Amino acid sequence: MILRMMEKENAYIAKVFSYFSVQNIGGVKVTRPRTKELATAGPINSVLQSSQLKLDGNLSYPCVLSTVVANMEGAKGRYTIQIYTKDKGMAIEKM
């Protein structure tokens, strides 16, 4: 998974420090960091942050994951999320 911050000072440095976390909590809103966490990156002021999801054999499919993206200023920001997979049957739905 790649988080790309759209508000940047230059090609490498974002205007704010940001953070993301992917959790296996059934698609509900993330309220606690580090709960059933599968991937995380940050906080860092890099334009790009990436992390490989660590999926275990206990997942049942279809699997609904939750993602939180935050910045250190607590303000709304512009970003994109990119997900790459080798599983041709995978589908991503925005909730």
Tell me whether residue 19 is in a domain. Answer: yes
Residue 91 falls inside a structural domain: no
Q: Confirm whether 10 is domain-assigned.
A: yes
Q: Note the pTM of the prediction, 2 decimals.
A: 0.78
The type of residue at 16 is V
pLDDT of residue 95: 65
28: number of CA atoms within 13 Å, CB side? 6
Q: Domain containing 17: what range?
A: 2-82
Q: What is the pLDDT of residues 66-89, one digit of tens each?
A: 888 988 888 788 999 888 888 777
The pLDDT of residue 44 is 93
Domain-located, residue 55? yes
Q: Report yes or no on 92 lying in a domain.
A: no
Report if residue 89 sits inside a domain: no
**pLDDT at position 4 over 70:** yes
State the DSSP H helix or E strand holding residue 70, giving kind and residue range, or none if neither: strand 66-71
Domain count, the chain: 1
Q: Is 38 part of a structural domain of the chain?
A: yes
